[in-house]
Amino acid sequence: MTRPKPKATTGVPTGRNNPSEISRDHLADLYGRLLTIRRAEERLQKLFADGEVPGFIHLSIGQEAVSVGVMDALRDADTIASTHRGHGHAIAKGMALEGFFAELLARDEGVCRGRGGSMHVADMKIGMLGANGIVGAGLSIALGSALAHKTRGTNDIAVAFFGDGAQAEGLLHECLNIAALWKLPLLFVCENNGWGEFLPTTKHLAFQLGDLAAAYRVPHTRVDGNDVVAVQAAAHRIVEAMREGAGPMALECVTTRVRGHFEGDAQKYRDPDELAALAALDPVRRVADQLAALGLGAAALEAIDAGVAQKVEAAVAHARTGTDPSFEAACADVYAEGGRA
């Protein structure tokens, strides 16, 4: 009987967050995309507080670099399955802000015609297979999508996003095993923000993803998920290998949940010091600083921000003038028609 030695926790790889790895234009582009998610969610925060968004919403503020970094390596035909915290994934995959805000405001012009809301934003045309209200469910949906890519003989890949808390669900194991067994083009992206609702994930989990993935020989990479350069670099390397048939891979992004589990969660259960430290880890600010260091002036940065803010405001305005969805149309959409799909 051998008691396995606890492996040293893989530290967050450093040296990847070297902005010189990518061009300044690329970085500026990433910045714009990070900022789009950030400003969109900040706007949502306000709309929610003002009672314009029904239901409840889980913001990804502080986690934007995961969405932007991973999606930087994807193309439209690649598919992603997302989580309850899926705004960033949707926008980064290419969801238009108009349809996004219209959905959050429950308008007929929304991507889901106001029937899904925050937890179900989806757009099959851009390979966004849906945010999901069921923790872990996206794993198996992405598994099936990867199976479809492989069966159809494309070199598209599927990506399953999941939180660190979701790792306690049995589906993770089933999907890792099947993906490894069948060598499916499935990328497991864990957004490890340290929390599952109101409990640190140290109280959810007795394992590290890296150790688990190793059991199935699924290559695992752990990066600083608040460093978009590191995330995109890892994503590009991984996705390239996967397009060449490397089989499933795992990318763990260590990141920060800034706004609590859902809007309205004051996070009283968290250490105030930990909360205070979040600002220094901000993935958006970090890129702004990098761009400044690369010589992009304050005016240029502000112009990017202003452009984003304007697009966000336009989308909100558009959503607000939208119409209420029709109940009859909703009823008619429970089933697809026709004997041939």
Partner 1 sequence: MAELRYQKAIGRALEDAMTADPTVILFGEDVAEAGGSFGATKGLREKFGAARVFDTPISEAALAGAAVGAAVSGLKPVLEIMFMDFTTLVMDALVNQAAKARFMFGGRCAVPLVLRTPHGGGLGAGPQHSQCLEAWFAHVPGLKVVCPSDPVSAYGLLRAAIDDPNPVIFVENKSLYASKIDAPDELPAFEVGKARIARPGADVTIVTYGGALRTALAAADALAGEGVEAEIVDLLSLQPWDEATVLASLSRTHRLVVMHEAVEAFGVGAEIAARMADIGFDELDGPIVRVGAPFMPIPFSKPLERAYMPSVENLVAAVRRTLA
Ligand X SMILES: Cc1ncc(C[n+]2csc(CCOP(=O)(O)OP(=O)(O)O)c2C)c(N)n1
Touching partner 1, residues 45-104 (CB under 8 A): 54-56, 79, 81
From the list a second copy, Mg ion, partner 1, none, partner contacted by residue 119 (C-beta under 5 to 8 A by kind): partner 1
Residue 175: CB minimum distance to a second copy, A: 9
Task: Sketch the per residue contact string, 140 through 179, with partner 1: x for CB under 8 A, - otherwise.
Answer: xxxxxxxxxx-xx-----x------xx-xxxx--xx-xx-
Rounded CA separation 18/21 (Å): 6
Q: Return the residues of window 158-177 that contact a second copy according to CB under 8 A.
A: 168-174, 176-177
In contact, 146 and 184? CB cutoff 8 Å: yes
In contact, 68 and 255? CB cutoff 8 Å: no
From the list partner 1, ligand X, Mg ion, none, partner contacted by residue 50 (C-beta under 5 to 8 A by kind): none
CB-count burial class (<10 Å; 0-12, 13-18, 19+) for 339:
exposed
- N-terminal to C-terminal alpha carbon distance within the chain: 56
Partnered with residue 127 across adjacent β-strands are none
Q: Of the candidates 114, 185, 210, 283, which one interacts with partner 1 according to CB under 8 A?
A: 114
Q: Of the candidates 148, 205, 281, 309, which one interacts with a second copy according to CB under 8 A?
A: 205
Q: Closest Cα partner for 239 from 144, 147, 157, 154?
A: 157
Nearer to partner 1, 31 or 161 (CB): 161
CA angle 64, 77, 219 (to 5 degrees): 65
Q: Return the residues of window 174-193 that contact Mg ion according to CB under 5 A.
A: 193
Q: Closest Cα partner for 237 from 255, 217, 223?
A: 223
98 part of the interface to ligand X, by CB under 6 A:
no
252 part of the interface to Mg ion, by CB under 5 A:
no
**Cα Rg of the chain (Å, integer):** 20
- Residue 265 phi/psi, 5° resolution? -80, 110
Q: Return the residues of window 253-282 that contact ligand X according to CB under 6 A.
A: 257, 261
From the list partner 1, ligand X, Mg ion, none, partner contacted by residue 85 (C-beta under 5 to 8 A by kind): ligand X
CB-nearest residue to ligand X: 163
Residue 86: CB minimum distance to Mg ion, A: 13
In contact, 315 and 97? CB cutoff 8 Å: yes
Would you state the structure tokens that stand for residue 164, as one six-digit string?
């660190």
Strands (E), 172-290: 186-192, 195-196, 199-200, 220-224, 249-254
Q: E strand or H helix at 163, and its extent?
A: strand 158-163
> Which region, judged by CB under 8 A, interacts with a second copy, from 45-53, 88-96, 178-186, 325-333?
178-186
List interacting residues with Mg ion (CB under 5 A): 163-165, 193, 195
List interacting residues with ligand X (CB under 6 A): 84-85, 133-135, 163-166, 191, 193, 195-197, 257, 261
List interacting residues with a second copy (CB under 8 A): 1-4, 6, 168-174, 176-178, 180-181, 203-208, 211-217, 219-221, 234, 237-238, 249
